[in-house]
Amino acid sequence: MQSVAESKRPKFRIQAPSERTIAQKDREEVQKYLRLIPTEAEPNLGRVREIKEEIKKGTYLTHEMIEAAAMQLALRLLRKEKD
In a domain, 73, yes or no: yes
In a domain, 56, yes or no: yes
Return per-residue pLDDT of the chain as tens, 83 residues: 555 555 677 777 887 767 767 788 888 888 888 887 777 667 777 888 888 888 788 776 677 877 888 888 888 888 876 65
Q: Give pLDDT, residue 15.
A: 76
Q: Give pLDDT, residue 81.
A: 65
Distances (CA, A) of 44 to 23, 29, 39, 50: 36, 31, 15, 10
Whole-model pTM over 0.85: no
* Residue 70: domain span: 42-83
Length reported for the chain: 83
Report d(CA 70, CA 37) in Å as an integer.
31
In a domain, 4, yes or no: no
Number of domains in the chain: 1
In a domain, 22, yes or no: no
Report d(CA 35, CA 26) in Å as an integer.
14
